[in-house]
Amino acid sequence: MPSASAQSRPSTARAVPVTAAIIALAAGGFGIGTTEFAIMGLLQNVAEGLQVSIPQSGQLISAYALGVVVGAPVLAALGARLPHKYLALGLMALFTVGNLSSVFAPGFSSMLVTRFISGLPHGAYFGVAAVIAASLVAPVKRARAVAAVMLGLAVANVIGVPLVTWLGQQYGWRLMFVAVGIIGAITLVLIQRFVPFSPAHAEASMRRELRALKRIQVWLALLIGVVGFGGFFAVYSYISPTMTDVAGLPEAALPIVVGLYGLGMVAGNIIGGRLADRSVMGSIYIVMTAIIGVLVLFWAVADVAVLAVAVVFLVGVAGSSLIPGLQTRLMDASPDAQTLAASLNHSALNMANALGAFLGGAVISAGWGYRAPALVGAGLAVLGLGVALVSGLLDRRSHAPAVPGKEAEVSNRKKTMKA
């Protein structure tokens, strides 16, 4: 009879299909990351094209983020009875159509609407993709599988965002939406070809998914994402004018800057997945502390070009390291409603996006300069760390951690062997 460890590992025969499925899901993350972050590097171009101010053009970032906030719970709940593969296909189709509609938006108001529509499937897609990926690997590798899907988002900031930023500067910023539409279409083909089909859970329903909203640990995890990650977006939303006006870099250097940030995201995503597989809450404590330190450092060195560029890389590392831990925390805090819980992570992160862009724009408009958002961000990260500590304290007081991590699995194996 095979051992428990042997049963928990995918067979070699399944290794290639699992890898192909995760790459297919990550391709969607690549498209989502490109459309979400490229507009930040093109913010000045968009403002000129739509004849609005830079802080006003930042509202397009907020509109997309608010679409994620609304769409993640609504679409995840509505799609509860669908097989996960079909839900992923439907969400990516909506994402593709939404981005292509932005190509033809004639003015600022219509662009706000198309950006909102484009954001609707974002969170639900990552939620169902995370659940699919986690189901394909051994339990002790869940966070790494989730991180592998999120790697598409990180790689977008290395390849997709710099490329689209350059194309937008050279040939018009609307080309960004054409490129993202093509990526979305390719993703649909890959998901159809490589992601395995599995029927929906027999008890799946909207009511079952909405049970996640009754759990305090779910809400605390969401709050960590909103305020903690909001600090990251307060800085990155205005990275383009900060690097040109404060650090003194030429506009032509911006693709390099966002590329370095993307490399930081790749590194952080890998680091965050490994940390979360060891200790989910421990990874959150460590990463939140790192975000605080990095944002304060960015404020201190933003006017020194070489140092500012180096710290942008660290901002990418710190911010991306938080995502696998939060994703896994939410899935474990609501095991009977994982799709909605995982989707809500991206609602939280994009509420953070909206909050960060808003507060960053507010301090800039108040005349405090482009360095001020870094201090606002550090303050938000401090609040996020505080919420994480409260969540951990509640776990310890309950004497039954809400997150069944590696320790819980080992304990269950011991009980099985004794029996």
**pLDDT digits over 34-53, tens only?**
998 788 778 888 888 887 88
Q: Where in the chain are the domains? A: 13-196+203-405
Return the CATH number of the domain spanning residue range 13-196+203-405: 1.20.1250.20
Q: What span, in angstroms and rounded, lies between the C-alpha atoms of 225 and 284?
A: 10
Phi, psi of 294 (to 5 degrees): -65, -40
Residue with tokens 């030429």: 250
In contact, 40 and 239? CB cutoff 8 Å: yes
Nearest partner of 380 among 180, 231, 240, judged by Cα:
231
Q: Give CA angle at 269 (96, 321), nearest 5°.
A: 115
pLDDT tens, N- to C-terminus, the chain (419 residues): 443 333 344 444 344 588 899 999 999 999 998 998 788 778 888 888 887 887 788 788 888 878 888 888 889 888 878 888 999 999 999 999 999 999 888 888 899 999 999 999 998 999 899 889 888 888 778 888 888 888 888 888 788 888 888 888 888 888 989 999 999 999 999 999 999 887 766 565 566 667 667 788 888 988 998 888 888 888 878 888 888 889 888 888 887 887 788 788 889 988 998 898 888 899 999 999 999 999 999 999 988 989 999 999 999 899 889 988 888 888 877 776 777 777 888 778 777 877 888 888 888 888 888 888 999 989 999 999 999 999 989 888 875 544 444 444 444 444 444 44
DSSP of 125-188: HHHHHHHHHHHTS-GGGHHHHHHHHHHHHHHIIIIIHHHHHHHHHHH-TTHHHHHHHHHHHHHH
**Residue 134 backbone phi and psi in degrees, to 5:** -65, -30
pLDDT at 129: 92
